Amino acid sequence: MAFTPLSNDDAQTLALADAAIVQAKIAELGQRAIPPWLLPTNPYQDGKVPTGEAAFAAADNEHLLEVLAIRGPLHAIDGWGYLGRAINALVCGKPHAARHLAYYGELRGALSILAMSGIGIFNRRNVVFDAAGDRHTLANRDTHDMCWAALESWSMLEDSLDLIVRPLTIGTSSLLDGLADFFPGSKFSGTCAYIMESWGFDLKQGASDRDERNWSSYQLTSLQPIPTAPQEITEFLEMYWSLLRPDNFALERHLFRILLEAEMRSVGEVQLQDRIAAYSKLAPEVQALVSEDFLLRVEDPNDHQFLTYVADQATPARPFAMLCRAALILKLATGLAEERLRTAGVNPNVHLDDWWRQFGLENGLWAPAAAPENSVDLWGDIAVALEDLAAAPTDNRFDWTTVAGSAVTRVAELDRAGIWQLVR
């Protein structure tokens, strides 16, 4: 299916979207215990809003905004769940199922970002909320089609760069602050779409991955096998999980370098060396992890393997590529959700404590008598599982998964990554 951008009228309407109006609703979460996520007075307790034209038109804006506000964190968490099931399918020798599920992880991440930006994609009832809380209608394209078109158009808006990049940090320092050290006074207007494409996440790729998902979902998959071997999956998962590990900033340091290079191109400059004197302005915690030689591609000159997978647009799409694209957009979405909560005065460690502990028990992330003290403790089980998976024989999938035992389940618990990024 060919990617179809938003019409000019829809693009102009989408530009009215205001993140602050959603932020005000997010702030209300700090005034009550979570769960429940929605007030009892909201008629859409399952999060599903009316799809009929008349019923949707009659829906109260405050109720829709409340649903939109909680879609930010909850779509992101659901996306990590889909990604975990995709990993499980990959390990069990079902690469087509992995592609199917990874795509839905991508979709949830995109819907999360749009929701926090004031854009509601409600099953052909697509709307934008402006700064006054008034809603404006977009074309009634279906969820998948509208999602990727809206995300591409949103990424070109002036404020989008700040929303999507500021939550990415090295230590406590935002990548956007580091970018400002090199380009003082710049608003970086209109660079978000270019930068995200430079990361390899061309926003049109989500639409292409939908086509790949359609093949895996509806066609005779045995006629188009996608071979995956235990050894390469083991190596992939070690790389994949290491980038999601709490307090590991390996991906962020690579993204920071690409951000700087993209901004150089956008201002018509060629050599980062010409601005390297600004390196001394970076926060000490950034300098400790990002050297001048790294930024100049003297040290570790190649992009991280994860980003290589993200940029892979081969057809049929390899499960590894789709899994990495999904993880990147979910990392962006979850970081944005966490930042939006804190900016609204909602401390996830406090206000979401009951929720994430209940969520973990229901999803079997720990035994009832062995609840973690904090979300970061969820990493320990993954570290052990990766060791067990690596120690298992990889001659064939049966012996590999049999000897690995419970590690097969643990390495597919991507919900953990969603929790420790949202509640930290």
Read off the pLDDT of residues 202-214 as tens digits, 9 standing for 90 and up: 456 666 667 777 7
Residue 169 DSSP symbol: E
pLDDT: is 41 or 204 the higher one? 41
CA gap 304, 244 in Å, rounded: 14
Q: What's the pLDDT score for residue 418?
A: 97
59-89 as b/e: b if 16+ CB within 10 A: beeebbbbbbbbbbbbbbbbbbbbbbbbbbb
Which tokens is 71 given? 């879609």
Nearest Cα residue to 249 out of 335, 182, 164: 335
Q: Is the pTM of this model over 0.85?
A: yes
Average pLDDT, integer, range 218-246: 88
Q: What's the pLDDT score for residue 215?
A: 67
Distance set, CA 93 to CA 151, 208, 371 (Å)? 32, 23, 32
Nearest Cα residue to 389 out of 241, 279, 244, 286: 241
Above 60 in pLDDT, residue 281? yes
3-state secondary structure of 80: helix
pLDDT digits 0-9 by tens, 302-336: 999 999 998 887 777 789 998 999 999 999 999 99
Average pLDDT, integer, range 270-295: 95
CA gap 34, 102 in Å, rounded: 28
Average pLDDT over all residues of the chain:
91
CA gap 417, 408 in Å, rounded: 16
Average pLDDT, integer, range 394-408: 96
Helices (H), 229-316: 230-244, 250-266, 284-289, 292-295, 305-311
Burial class (CB in 10 A: 0-12, 13-18, 19+), 180: middle
Average pLDDT, integer, range 27-39: 93
Above 70 in pLDDT, residue 195? no
pLDDT digits 0-9 by tens, 76-109: 999 999 999 999 999 999 998 998 899 899 999 9
Size of the chain, expressed as the number of residues it contains:
424
Q: Can you give the three-state secondary structure of 121-138, one letter per residue?
A: EECCEEEEECCCCCEEEC
Which tokens is 309 given? 């997978």
3-state helix vs strand vs coil in the chain, percent to 5:
60, 5, 35
Above 80 in pLDDT, residue 368? yes
Q: What's the pLDDT score for residue 200?
A: 45
Average pLDDT, integer, range 367-379: 93
pLDDT: is 148 or 17 the higher one? 17
Q: Percent of the chain at pLDDT above 70? A: 92
Q: What's the pLDDT score for residue 193?
A: 59
